[in-house]
Amino acid sequence: MIEILTLILSSSVILAVPILFSAIGETYDQRAGVINLGLDAIMSLSAFVALMVCFSTGSYLMGTLAAISVGGLVALIHGFACVTIGINQIISGLLLFTLANGIADFLNTYLSGYKVFLAPLKAINIPGLSQIPVLGPILFQQNIFVYLAFLFAIVFGFVLYKTTWGLKIRGVGENPEACDAAGINVNRIRYLCLILGGVMAGFGGAFLSLGYLGLYGSGIASGRGWIAIIVVILSSWSPYRAILGSLIFGLGYSIAANLIGIGIGVPSYILQMLPYITALIVIIFMFKRTKGPSALAVPYRRK
């Protein structure tokens, strides 16, 4: 029993990672006033790119770098459409979703002759800590992506709340006119946050293919990008609380995956609904009390 629990908890930490990466990036997006609904597809595309580049160069680092570059580039399109031109961010995000998924599926079919499998990145055991019973395997026997995600979440939180940069980002999302009057370049900050959001979704995608599965399948993100945006709102736009939020969903995915593995007689499709039902419950009970950045999804133009 204790083994199963350890397994479920340990994989919920792992499964929280792609959500956490994307959620903290999206937190910055939305704090600056831009919503990016293309996250899910950016994750899929960068997962594919990570796998292919890693396979051809033999370097996990190169794979990850390629993935985050692609993530940033796709986000740049969203930036041009919504920040520079100012089209509806919701519609643009959805088109970005179609676009990035289309590119990923196109490349995947085009290169379908190459069936790429890699060994997922090995876990790094933290000396001493990893020997603690139960807690050790859950928290301190994971691969580098897992440690990075949680580290990033803390750094992002610190920057957002304790530095001038963070203040500017929050200001731009709350009152762009005032920021502009104070000499802050509103759209530049929005662009930077968007690129950062894309880069983080790229990390999430790279984790899926390089750090977790070791392969790629069409639509690999399978809704994790959408879940990440829900986590952003659930954690009321705080990178710290996003850790907790993504762990909740990590647990949902983990219970589903492990129960499917054990085979308890509940059909796998029903179990796969678990994260989405969790999401719905979270929305019903938590979203009422949240209030987002005031200028969210409103393009800024100088009068």
The dihedral sign for the CA sequence 205, 51, 199, 148 = positive
How far is the C-alpha of 51 from the C-alpha of 113, rounded, in Å? 15
* Amino acid at residue number 58: G
**Shorter beta-carbon distance to other proteins: residue 8 or 297:** 297
**Shorter beta-carbon distance to other proteins: residue 230 or 259:** 230
Instruction: Say if residues 209 and 216 touch (Cβ distance below 8 Å).
Output: yes
**Shorter beta-carbon distance to other proteins: residue 115 or 288:** 288
Short-list 55, 47, 46, 45, CA closest to 113 = 55
Interacting residue ranges for other proteins, rule: CB under 8 A: 37, 77, 80-81, 85-88, 90-92, 94-99, 101-103, 105-106, 109-110, 223, 226, 229-230, 233, 267, 269-270, 272-273, 276-277, 279-280, 283-284, 287-288, 301
**Shorter beta-carbon distance to other proteins: residue 262 or 273:** 273
How far is the C-alpha of 177 from the C-alpha of 154, rounded, in Å? 30
* Residue 41 CB, nearest approach to other proteins (Å): 10
Contacts of 278 (CB under 8 A, 6+ apart): 248, 249, 252
Instruction: Say if residues 200 and 24 touch (Cβ distance below 8 Å).
Output: yes
| DSSP SS3 for 124 | strand
Instruction: Say if residues 206 and 46 touch (Cβ distance below 8 Å).
Output: yes
* Residue 174 CB, nearest approach to other proteins (Å): 18
**Shorter beta-carbon distance to other proteins: residue 7 or 271:** 271
DSSP letter, residue 142: E
Contacts of 288 (CB under 8 A, 6+ apart): none
Main-chain dihedrals φ then ψ at residue 266, nearest 5 degrees: -85, 130
* Residue 290 CB, nearest approach to other proteins (Å): 9
* Amino acid at residue number 88: N
**Shorter beta-carbon distance to other proteins: residue 120 or 197:** 197
End-to-end CA distance of the chain: 64
**Shorter beta-carbon distance to other proteins: residue 58 or 102:** 102
The dihedral sign for the CA sequence 226, 172, 99, 106 = negative
**Shorter beta-carbon distance to other proteins: residue 81 or 139:** 81
How far is the C-alpha of 235 from the C-alpha of 168, rounded, in Å? 20
How far is the C-alpha of 231 from the C-alpha of 234, rounded, in Å? 5
